[in-house]
Amino acid sequence: MQFNSIFSLAFKTVAGNKLRTGITVAIIAFGIMALIGIITAIKAMNQKFSESFSTMGANAFSIRFKERNIRMGGGGGDDVTVSKKGAKKEKKSNLGKRITKDEAEAFVRKYEYPAYVSLSIFGGRNNIVSFASKKTGPNVMAYGADENYLLLNGFKLLAGRNMNRTDANSGQNICILGYDVAKRLLGENVQAAVNQQVRINNIPYRVLGVLESRGSSFGFSRDNMIITSYQNVERNFPSGNSYAVAVMVNSIPELKTAMGEAEGAFRAIRKLNTTEESNFVLDRSDSIVEKAMNSLGFLTISATVIGLITLIGAAISLMNIMLVSVSERTKEVGLVKAIGGKSKMIRRQFLLESVIISCMGAVFGIILGVLVGNVFSIVLNTGFVVPWLWVIYGILICTIVGILAGLYPAVKAGKLNPIEALRYE
């Protein structure tokens, strides 16, 4: 008997036992659904991370201060460590020292590598912006920056203009509104905010422009913000926060050289000698996304473990059902053998039945898993996600499960004695 005939017979047998097949398919589908669903959700989160944090591009990096490590039982004075036995002690009194305005400005002046450089400072997240009779909640974030901040952080203007060097250095009361703030104050006609006077914490500000919407990340709006000059933040939003410096070079191959020169220049500004560790950190703009994605790796492992445990249970269930099928069809097997059917054909038929049931579970599980996982992508407002590689893995895993689960019942069916099988009751 040819393979297509054996396959057709196996498929008809599977279709004829709807209840048994349905229960087994459901068990297998649940395992695959758990695996594919979680993987799909993780891919949606990765996509959102990429959209949220990769605004500066792969050819940019930032300089931020390095926080002091917390030690128990520490007294006053400088932190001191010894790197090697007999080596010179390294003074680290500046380890927790934030980057000041003077240091950030000095870097902008002294950094000679051909690149765009911007400095900024966070002015707090509890600000209120009002216009006429309308006002926002006390949750507007304020940023102080210079004229290059929008470019280096991926912002685009919907209306109005950006700050210029004079605006940034003068510290006058000017600002750029985030889309949500402008919409809250002026409704859908957000462009009308340009050149209007709004009040930020009851201080009057002239609006230079309105930013395009950037959406939300994990339920938090990225448009609920205002940007003013860093000089203005120093005067009106004194927070004691550290300054950050961003650098964008012309191409990715230049990045390593630019980062090396930036570290050398900033070490000199921070007055660090050759034995002292850098008390600041250089972060590539794409490293945040990479770290965020790596932190989701344990979820992938968890999903794989959950799926495999469920599939092991499904394999045991499938094997038991196939063994029951062998017992129920003993006379049928005896009849096939009596009219000339070979043991090889019997084994193939039972093995194919097992694989068909397992693959049907894979198909339903993959469809359900992709749909369930994309519920998460809808919540995150990302595009429809299909983890194609894991779809292929799911089909391969279920095929292997079907072969392993059906192997023993198939061998048992093939070994049946036709005379004893025909007399079986």
Domain ranges of the chain: 3-52+295-422, 60-70+89-285
Parallel/antiparallel/unpaired status of strands 203-211 and 216-217: unpaired
- Predicted TM-score (pTM) of the model is 0.57
174-177 vs 203-211, strand pairing mode: parallel
At position 403, the amino acid (one-letter code) is: I
Structure tokens at 32: 């695959």
How do 157-160 and 203-211 pair as beta strands? antiparallel
Cα(315)–Cα(362) distance, integer angstroms: 12
Query: Has residue 90 got a pLDDT over 50?
Result: no
Q: Among 41-45, 109-113, 251-255, 370-374, which range has the highest average pLDDT?
A: 109-113
Strand partners of residue 131:
134
The pLDDT of residue 88 is 41
Q: What is the mean pLDDT of residues 130-148?
A: 93
3-state secondary structure of 244: strand
Q: What is the pLDDT of residue 75?
A: 41
Per the DSSP assignment, residues forming a β-bridge with 209 are: 160, 176
Where residue 72 falls among pLDDT bands split at 50, 70, 90? very low
**DSSP for 78-103, written as a single string:** --EE-SSTTPPPEE-TTTTPPPPHHH
Q: What is the pLDDT of residues 407-421, one digit of tens each?
A: 777 777 666 665 555
Alpha-carbon distance values, 425 to 16, 338, 409 (Å):
21, 17, 19
State how far the Cα of 369 lies from the Cα of 36, in Å rounded to an integer.
5
Does residue 163 surpass a pLDDT of 90? yes
pLDDT in tens, 319-347: 877 777 766 666 666 666 666 667 677 77
DSSP helix/strand/coil, 306: helix
pLDDT at 93: 45
pLDDT confidence of residue 117 = 94
Beta partners for residue 110, in sequence order: none
- How far CA 372 is from CA of 41, 304, 389, in Å, comes to 8, 16, 17
What pLDDT score does 15 carry? 73
Q: Identify the band that residue 207 occupies on the pLDDT scale cut at 50, 70 and 90.
A: very high
Please give the backbone phi and psi of residue 213, each rounded to the nearest 5 degrees, phi first: -70, 140
Span 21-52, pLDDT tens digits = 787 788 788 878 878 888 888 778 777 666 65
> Which of 39-48, 92-101, 201-210, 412-421 has the least mean pLDDT?
412-421
Strand partners, 175: 207
* Dist CA 304 CA 320 (whole Å): 24
Bridge partners (DSSP) listed for residue 127: 140
pLDDT the model gives residue 77: 40
Closest to 34 in 3D by CA, of 281, 422, 269, 314? 314
